[in-house]
Amino acid sequence: MSKNYCIITAVAGLMAAAGCASESELVEVSGKADAAAVQDRLEELVADGVLDADDVDALFEAAGGTVRLQEMLVIRDAVSTDRFEVEDEAVARALERARLTGLLDSEVALQAAPDAASYAGTEVPAAVRELVARARLNGAVAYDVREVDDDDGELEWTPYPSTTPATANMSFEYTEVSPQALADDLADDAVTYNAIVGSETAEECNASGCFEYQRARYEQRTGGTGNVAAHYDEVWHDDIFARGSRGQKWASNCAILSDGSIHCLPASRRSESQDLILTNPHLSRCNDRPGFEDSCRTMLYNGHITVSGGVVTSVEVSGRVSKKVARGRVHLIDPIALLEAWGFELAPGLDVHYGNTEDGVPERDLERGVLTPPRFRP
């Protein structure tokens, strides 16, 4: 019996023992008809009493290109049941297919190998890969920030656009935050940089005349900090690699990409084009610039993560994503579980909270590796 099979089966047992409401009661009703079709296909496939890897492929094909939450839960339950024999290869195939479901073709090409590096070229710990696969099989969404709501024509996952490719201070290598990246920054006594300490009035002259504008004011400092902290301003930045007032290399606007890596905006929150103040969806690198079409990445989470001296002190789920999780419309990968899998140092008692909604506190499903809306247990 495989390790993954034991994990999934144990989870199913825990649900029954806890007397929880079924997940079908906790998620949105849309997609029930599609889930029923996947369930019907399952019954056909296990008429011989066995679920194998080919059967799992057939279930994903029945779900179609976009696997809804309830459809994924049908597949998860299929590989964790004792109602029929489930081959170990079927469990492994379900985890593999779930991990890659919903990803762009360019992402699948990079992440198909089980030992694939992160988008920044970093080795991804086995615990991270296992968590991502397990969370995805338990319904954790991978979303494209460009997706538009069919009903109102607005962006589905965020009110802000993504316009910046993976160049300069928005390269994957620069924005990836890992325990090693924090440790390296904290230990770097020699690094010298501009720290943003305010704004000042400057003058620009051209053939039409002179005009005044506001630009960032800098103070030169030495020594890294291992900090990730909030920063926001509306002025011009002469140095897009400048750090924030706390010496932070990264702003607290962060995302988890589909490879399980954690990325945070550069502290200045400006790219080399300086077309917009950078927001979380920019970490997807989805853009319209010719030659950079394949830099776009789907996300597993976006929100705010704060780090002080290499220790994670705050984790928040933000924006429209937080509302979707709070209202049971999606499952999200547990960001704290992912931080633990990477080996980050966490502040005692660290928990995750919502931003932009008052719909309770997210529940961390520790066995499944996902965030769900609050449950009510007897």
DSSP string, 350-370: --EEESS--S---EEETTTTE
User: If you ran DSSP here, which 8-state letter would residue 241 be given?
Assistant: T
Max Cα distance, the chain (Å): 83
- Residue 176, pLDDT score: 99
- Residue 15, pLDDT score: 37
Give pLDDT tens digits for 249-299: 999 999 999 999 999 999 999 999 998 999 999 999 999 999 998 999 999
- Tell whether 163 is covered by a domain: no
- Overall size of the chain counted in residues: 378
Do 172 and 93 sit in the same domain of this protein? no
Rg (CA), the chain: 22
More confident site: 14 or 108? 108
- Tell whether 198 is covered by a domain: no
- Residue 264, pLDDT score: 99
Do 172 and 87 sit in the same domain of this protein? no
Q: 293: left (phi > 0), else alpha (psi -120 to 50), else beta?
A: alpha
Q: Is 28 exposed, middle or buried (0-12, 13-18, 19+ CB in 10 A)?
A: middle
Do 273 and 364 sit in the same domain of this protein? yes
Q: Which of 176, 163, 319, 189 is nearest to 250 (CA)?
A: 176
pLDDT value at 365 more than 70: yes
The residues with which 345 forms a beta bridge, in sequence order, are 311
The residues with which 308 forms a beta bridge, in sequence order, are 311
Give the HSE-up count for residue 321: Cα atoms under 13 Å, Cβ half-sphere: 28
Domains identified in the chain, total number: 2
The Cα 255–Cα 268 span in angstroms is 17
Do 187 and 301 sit in the same domain of this protein? yes
| Residue 189, number of CB atoms within 10 A of its CB | 8
Domain edge (last residue) among 101, 121, 137: 101
Q: Which of 102, 90, 255, 85 is nearest to 170 (CA)?
A: 255
Do 172 and 263 sit in the same domain of this protein? yes
Locate 227 and state its tokens: 């900090």
User: From the DSSP assignment, how many helices (H) and strands (E) are in the chain?
Assistant: 11, 13
- Tell whether 144 is covered by a domain: no
- Tell whether 140 is covered by a domain: no
| Residue 241, number of CB atoms within 10 A of its CB | 16
User: If you ran DSSP here, which 8-state letter would residue 222 be given?
Assistant: E
Give pLDDT tens digits for 49-98: 999 999 999 999 999 989 999 999 999 999 999 999 999 999 999 999 99
- Residue 37, pLDDT score: 96
Give pLDDT tens digits for 218-253: 999 999 999 999 999 999 999 999 999 999 999 999
pLDDT confidence bin for 1, thresholds 50/70/90: very low
pLDDT value at 323 more than 60: yes
Give pLDDT tens digits for 115-162: 999 999 999 999 999 999 999 999 999 999 999 998 899 999 999 999
- C-alpha 40 chain-centroid distance: 32
Q: Which of 62, 82, 81 is nearest to 72 (CA)?
A: 62
Question: Phi and psi (nearest 5°) for 259?
Answer: -85, 0
Residues 118 and 260 sit within 8 Å (Cβ to Cβ): yes
Domain edge (last residue) among 45, 68, 101: 101
| pLDDT, mean over the chain | 91
Q: Which of 372, 366, 367 is nearest to 336 (CA)?
A: 366
| Residue 235, number of CB atoms within 10 A of its CB | 17
pLDDT confidence bin for 358, thresholds 50/70/90: low
The Cα 111–Cα 99 span in angstroms is 9
Please give the single-letter amino acid code of residue 208: S
Locate 303 and state its tokens: 């929100």
- Tell whether 160 is covered by a domain: no
The Cα 69–Cα 317 span in angstroms is 19
- Tell whether 178 is covered by a domain: yes
pLDDT value at 180 more than 80: yes
The Cα 45–Cα 128 span in angstroms is 32
Locate 144 and state its tokens: 């494209």
CA distances from residue 258 to 116, 161, 311 in whole angstroms, order as listed = 12, 19, 24
The Cα 281–Cα 127 span in angstroms is 26
- Tell whether 213 is covered by a domain: no
Q: Is 86 exposed, middle or buried (0-12, 13-18, 19+ CB in 10 A)?
A: buried
Do 79 and 177 sit in the same domain of this protein? no
Q: Which domain holds residue 322?
A: 168-193+224-234+242-372
Do 81 and 179 sit in the same domain of this protein? no
The string of DSSP letters for 7-27 reads HHHHHHHHHHHHTPPPGGGTS
